[in-house]
Structures are given as structure tokens and as C-alpha cells.
Amino acid sequence: MARYPRPRSALLPMLHLVQSVQGYVSSAGVALCAEELNLTKAEVGAVVTFYTMFKRRPAGEYLISVCTNTLCGFLGGEEIYAAVQEQLGIHHDQTTDDGKFTLEHAECLAACDYAPVVTVNYEFYDQQSVESTTALVDALRAGDRPAPTRGAPLCSFRETSREIAGFSEADRAATALVGPSVGEPSIAGLRLATQRGERAPAGGASATAGKDA
């Protein structure tokens, strides 16, 4: 709490911490945050229901998010989502009976350059297909944790929530730096602009153009 200038600034990490313990944010969790931060339960509840990362029902060990927005959907995201639904026997925002998987379709995972994209507990698996994604689910079901395409190694949903709350273990924090964070698709435009000798307009030129208009 001491790291935040105002108590209410701690609300988001506190909610993630609650989720790391409960596997979701319960009514009791909302009440706890409200009491600790001197907020109303309505204020806390408004935040919980606004952000999709906060779950109102117990989430599985692995939260599988399939992007079905325009580019990912066009390149196969819809087919991937349909295949995983059939594979797990669940639909959007549902959890398997064994508590292993929760499935959701995502409107955007902010990785259009790697479309179609799937995340597991918010770790990226890029340029997926029906075959690669169903194989990923099979591996998770068998107890394996395939390495994400980039970023930190995969961990459970509760462990992920604890990390987002700011409580990473030292060894886990170190391994988070091992995986690649930027790939060729992300910098393809930069490389092309460099080859062509193109540069962004200077700030002064943009401001002048705006005034002239």
C-alpha cells in the first residue's frame, strides 16, 4: 500500500491479488478491497465488471483466449475458436468440469502482426492454426507447458494474477527476460522504411501543417 500515492490507486493490483488467491473476484473479495481502500462496494464492483481480466466466476488453471477480431478472424481465428470449443466441450466464458480450462473469444489481443493469435494466461502463441492450437490444448491437458512464442514461460492463471499484482518470485522474474519480446513481423515496417530512407515528419513540420490546414 505504501507504494501508492493514494489508497485507491492500489485497487487494480489488489483485485489481481484477490484473484490469485480465489481464482476469480468474489463478492467477498470486492467487499475486502472496498474496506481496505475506503471505497464503496459499488465503486469496486464497477472496476471489476469493466475489465475483462477480472473473472466473476472461478477460472480454470489455463485461460485460453482466441482472437476473433477482424484480422485474426479473417486468417483463421474463427475456425480456431470453433475447434477449441469442440475439443473442450465448452463455449465463451465457460470452464471445463475438471477446472483445467476456461475459454474465451477475445476482440483483440494487440498482436495483429502475428495473426492469428491465441494466448494462454495472457502469454502469446503466435501465427496459430487449428492444428497447432488443438495440439497446444492437448499438451496442456497432458501436463506439459509448451513455451510461448515470446515473453515469459507459461504459468497458471492464479500465478499470472499474482505476477500482475506485482508479486513475482525472483526466479520467475529472471526467466521472464529469457524469451523474445519482439519478432520480425513487429519491425517489418521499420526495416522497410529504413531501406527506403523514410523518416517520420519532424514535430515542427507537423505542427505547421496543422495550422495551415
The tally of domains found in the chain comes to: 2
Model pTM above 0.85? no
Q: How far apart are CA 21 and CA 36, in angstroms?
A: 17
Residue 110 clears pLDDT 50, i.e. is over it: yes
- Share of residues in the chain with pLDDT > 90 (%): 71
State whether 32 and 82 are in the same domain: no
Q: Are residues 35 and 111 in the same domain?
A: no
Collect all residues with Cβ–Cβ distance below 8 Å to 54 and sequence separation of at least 6. 15, 16, 19, 24, 25, 47, 48
Please write the tens of the pLDDT for every residue from 151-208: 889 999 999 999 999 987 655 555 555 556 667 777 778 788 888 988 888 875 554 4
Q: Report if residue 16 sits inside a domain.
A: yes
Are 114 and 157 part of one and the same domain? yes
For residue 33, give the C-alpha cell.
478491497
Residue 87 and residue 41 share a domain: no
The whole-angstrom separation of Cα 153 and Cα 195 is 34
Express each pLDDT in 50-77 by its tens digit.
999 999 999 999 999 999 999 999 999 9
The terminus-to-terminus CA distance of the chain in angstroms comes to 49
| Domain assignment of residue 91, yes or no | yes
